[in-house]
Amino acid sequence: MTLPISFEFFPPKTPEGAAKLRVARQALYALKPEFCSVTFGAGGSTQDGTFTTVSEILAEGAEAACHFSCVGATKAAVREQLANLQAMGVKRLVALRGDLPSGYGAGGEFHYASDLVAFIRAETGDAFHIEVAAYPEIHPQAKSADADLQAFVTKVKAGANSAITQYFFNTDAYFRFVDDAYKLGADVPVVPGIMPITSSTQLMRFSDACGAEIPRWIRLRLQGFGDDTASIKSFGLDVITDLCDQLRNGGVPGLHFYSMNQSAPTLEICQRLDL
């Protein structure tokens, strides 16, 4: 059985970065992804770069999913952006509340991602397949695990088609989250987000920021490697391949790789999994 896969990219900041990303995308297209998503900076700070990258992916013949955050936004601005995306031929959105840029007051006409999902549905009907975020290990700003689960259910009931999770290393957290969400009527596909391990310092920094838990044994092994990047990458490939294998055996609807604009780690993992 083939397992649908997809990739996330971020908009490059330099012409060199854009050129490297084009090469990485071409390599990853060999895996026939269902779609490629492109992130959106805090408060829409990378909007132009996001739209440019999405346009390139569409022109390359792949399906592109545009991240779309609403914090600090007005309904008029969101309506205009939706029209632009439709004109570009985008059919898939990843609807997020998003982070406020530092030093920015709360403001805006949307408080939650569920508000954005409901607005997109009201404005555009079924023009877009809407993905939302899911947090198997609980959103770092959630008041409680139950409040976080309810927030997810609200997004689904507002009109989301499917969800992509924050990355994690504990499959029990994922399967429990999906079971709990289904019991509350949120029965959309929840695709696990997969973060290849290529740098221990980068992984620690990301995980501390987004609330993803690194199991103690993984953290200690990574620390033990010090600056030995070859050992870190080799260990990371083993850990993530095993994680994906467990998820596949558990019947997940797909795998979404946070590529970090690189092709080699994801290609290696998918080859090991025979995807």
Establish whether 8 is a catalytic residue.
yes
CA dist 133 and 190 (Å) reads: 9
CA dist 56 and 200 (Å) reads: 31
Contact between 190 and 162 (Cβ < 8 Å) = yes
Marked catalytic residue, from 8, 56, 131, 137: 8
Q: Tokens 């987004």 correspond to what residue? A: 210
The encoded tokens of residue 157 equal 């009931």
CA dist 164 and 177 (Å) reads: 12
Handedness of CA 241, 176, 111, 142 (dihedral sign): negative
Q: What angle do CA 215, 221, 225 make, to 5 degrees?
A: 145
Contact between 101 and 134 (Cβ < 8 Å) = no
- In 30-74, alpha helices (H): 47-59
Distance (Å) of CA 165 to CA 99, 243, 267: 17, 14, 20
Measuring CA to CA, which residue among 116, 141, 53 is closest to residue 90?
53
The Cβ of residue 9 has, within 10 Å, a number of other Cβ atoms equal to 24
Q: Tokens 């391949």 correspond to what residue? A: 241
Task: Please give the positions annotated as active site.
Answer: 8
